[in-house]
């Protein structure tokens, strides 16, 4: 799963916390809705028809901003071997031709370069490194689509969104625990980024994206394949971690789950595919696990071994452990990463 880049610095539970009525859902834009009552569809949930999205994506200012972002992130070369430093001189003169190919649907994304990274728990995280050119294109797409999708995302979704952070997610959990919800439903989505169904994801994108050229371009990236040990592997499912577009696609894919949790009035926090639901009793927690498992049938899989219903004093979320009235940096989560925050903070 994706981890926040830098979960450091001092925190207090009262900073930026959600102060909602006890009967309201801290994540709902409209407050609590009884079971069976759906939220009124918001304006930003309607398809963004009538807009030439591909033209907006390939606008010179948008592409320049995307390049600056990719350049700032640095990163390794893709399968073509072209580095960040080499890219400008090699592609500046070719850009008009490349733009024309993109407009005509003739651009073929290159496969990603598969890299394995050791996880703190002993497993391996699979990354897919696109070429620098494809990173610039993906970033250009993400900037435009992000402005369309992000306003409709849940207030309890904190990962890889403008003006949101892992710190805010932890504060939100902390504040919810203070309201008496001291049982945590800690759900783990089994190999989420490797198991995403392409058809389901494309259908969800099509709810707001009416420009078929953009949908074809994104579909091309999903099916581009991956080079593993010098051999090309097809990618019939999944969203490779490592490209600028994958965090947005993850949030789009998980938005239906967020909305279902909101509809049921649950208090939760999600950072990419890492999320926790907070309830008042173990029995309620077991019911939530069963209902989420049923909701995700044929969509995503819950990792039964790693998912658990525990007291919040045993919860670890985004590198923090919630121990009694204090929240502390979890050494297990932070193994081999950034130093812990300067101090713990009270809940």
Is the per-residue pLDDT at 323 higher than 90?
Answer: no
Q: What is the pLDDT of residue 117?
A: 85
CA–CA gap between residue 263 and residue 256 (Å, rounded): 10
Q: What is the pLDDT of residue 306?
A: 82
Q: Does the model's pTM come out above 0.95? A: no
| pLDDT class of 324 with cuts at 50, 70, 90 | low
Q: Which of 155-164, 205-214, 299-308 has the lowest mean pLDDT?
A: 299-308
- Round the average pLDDT of the chain to a whole number and report it: 83
Q: What is the pLDDT of residue 142?
A: 98
Q: What is the pLDDT of residue 335?
A: 37
**Higher pLDDT, residue 315 or 344:** 315
User: What's the pLDDT tens digit per position in 2-61?
Assistant: 455 445 544 555 544 444 434 444 564 443 333 333 333 344 444 454 468 999 999 999
120 Cβ neighbours under 8 A, 6+ residues apart: 332, 333, 334, 335, 336, 337
Biggest alpha carbon–alpha carbon distance for the chain: 64
Q: What is the pLDDT of residue 72?
A: 97
Q: What is the pLDDT of residue 14?
A: 52
Closest CA to 189 of 45, 303, 76: 303
Average pLDDT over residues 240-250: 94
Q: Which of 41-55, 70-84, 106-120 has the lowest mean pLDDT?
A: 41-55
Alpha helices by DSSP H, the chain: 53-57, 60-73, 87-91, 95-104, 132-149, 166-178, 192-195, 198-206, 212-222, 246-263, 282-295, 331-334
Q: What is the pLDDT of residue 4?
A: 56
| pLDDT class of 298 with cuts at 50, 70, 90 | confident
CA–CA gap between residue 218 and residue 293 (Å, rounded): 28
| pLDDT class of 104 with cuts at 50, 70, 90 | very high
The pair of three-digit structure tokens given for residue 148, joined into one six-digit string: 């369309």
SS3 307: coil
């Amino acid at each position: 799963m994706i981890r926040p880049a830098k979960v450091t610095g001092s925190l207090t539970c009262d900073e930026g916390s959600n102060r909602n009525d006890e009967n309201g859902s801290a994540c709902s834009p409209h407050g609590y809705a009884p079971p069976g009552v759906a939220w009124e569809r918001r304006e930003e949930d309607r398809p963004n028809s009538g807009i030439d999205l591909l033209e907006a994506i390939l606008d010179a200012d948008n592409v320049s901003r995307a390049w600056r972002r990719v350049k700032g992130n640095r990163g390794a070369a893709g399968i073509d071997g072209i580095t960040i430093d080499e890219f400008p001189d090699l592609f500046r003169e070719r850009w008009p031709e490349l733009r024309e190919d993109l407009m005509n649907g003739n651009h073929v994304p290159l496969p990603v370069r598969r890299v394995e990274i050791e996880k703190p728990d002993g497993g391996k995280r699979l990354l897919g490194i696109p070429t620098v050119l494809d990173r610039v294109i993906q970033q250009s797409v993400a900037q435009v689509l992000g402005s369309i999708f992000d306003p409709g995302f849940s207030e309890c979704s904190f990962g890889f969104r403008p003006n949101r952070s892992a710190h805010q997610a932890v504060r939100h959990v902390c504040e919810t625990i203070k309201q008496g919800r001291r049982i945590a439903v800690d759900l783990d989505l089994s190999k989420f980024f490797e198991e995403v169904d392409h058809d389901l994801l494309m259908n969800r994108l099509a709810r707001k994206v009416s420009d078929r050229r953009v949908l074809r371009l994104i579909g091309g990236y999903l099916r581009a394949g991956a080079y593993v040990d010098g051999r090309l592997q097809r990618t019939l499912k999944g969203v490779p971690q490592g490209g600028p577009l994958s965090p947005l696609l993850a949030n789009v894919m998980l938005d239906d789950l967020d909305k279902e949790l909101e509809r049921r009035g649950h208090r939760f926090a999600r950072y990419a595919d890492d999320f926790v639901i907070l309830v008042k009793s173990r029995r309620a927690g077991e019911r939530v696990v069963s209902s989420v498992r049923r909701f995700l049938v044929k969509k995503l899989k819950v990792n039964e071994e790693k998912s658990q219903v525990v007291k919040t004093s045993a919860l670890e979320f985004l590198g923090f452990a919630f121990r009694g009235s204090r929240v502390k940096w979890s050494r297990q989560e932070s193994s081999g990463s950034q130093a812990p925050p300067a101090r713990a903070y009270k809940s």
